[in-house]
Amino acid sequence: MSLRERKRARIRQTLVDAATELFERDGYDETTIADIAAAADIGTRTFFSYFASKEELLFPESDARVRAAVEAIASRGPGEGPAEVLLRALRKVGDDNDEMASRLAALRLRLIRTVPAVRGRGLQIQFEAQREIARNLAEAFPEQLDEVSAAALTGAFVGAVTSALQVLLDDADALDDPAAVQEAVRRATDVALTPWLRAPAAEQPARGTA
């Protein structure tokens, strides 16, 4: 990363950290963008150079996760099937950072349950991510997946991650062991993708039947 990119990354993370602290202390609706900007020691106008809204602050890694999945699909090896590349992407995301088991992740889950605007933005992000990943999967594995089966496989994968996190992040102690959270998420995705993972290529679900 260049010096400018590192500076932007630092400010971006400072905004996320400040927002997390304020949302937990004062409440989501009670916290303004001006409050977050002031806590991060930047101007309100500068805030919008990093995030479009308060909701966006709660999903700072969503684009990176989609990129990881798309890159894993593009760099697939000759022996990898659709499920394997998705699991490799999940491992990369977990290795790169522990955001899935962070204070922000637990806060985001609570706000998705209680704040309609956050829930709506979360659903929109999830829908767009699933559609992008499924499209790339269908293009990369045309002999195994059509658009419908690619969407089903991606939905099973994303649903397993989301459901596991909902259970794990209800336990405050989970935040003390990010590695255990990541391992539990991987187990959940293994369960969801078993039909695709353990059968040889010739025995995997045929196109359109997943």
Per residue in 5-33, pLDDT (tens digit) is 899 999 999 999 999 999 999 999 999 99
pLDDT greater at residue 153 or residue 176: 153
- How high is the pLDDT of residue 55? 93
Statement: 58-203 belongs to CATH 1.10.357.10? yes
Contacts 24+ apart (CB under 8 A), 48-57: 50/8, 50/11, 50/12, 50/15, 51/15, 53/121, 54/19, 54/28, 55/117, 55/118, 55/121, 56/121, 57/15, 57/16, 57/19
In the chain, ranges of CATH 1.10.357.10 domains: 58-203
Mean pLDDT for the stretch of residues 140-169: 90
Which CATH number applies to 3-52?
1.10.10.60
In the chain, ranges of CATH 1.10.10.60 domains: 3-52
Mean pLDDT for the stretch of residues 132-150: 94
Indicate the pLDDT class of residue 115, thresholds 50, 70 and 90: very high
Percent of the chain with pLDDT over 70: 90
Mean pLDDT for the stretch of residues 158-179: 79
Whether 208 contacts 148, CB under 8 Å: yes
Mean pLDDT for the stretch of residues 101-113: 88
Q: Measuring CA to CA, how many Å separate 4 from each of 1, 16, 44, 49, 178?
A: 8, 18, 20, 14, 30
Mean pLDDT for the stretch of residues 45-57: 94
Distance CA 44, CA 35 (A): 9
Indicate if the pLDDT at residue 159 is higher than 80: yes
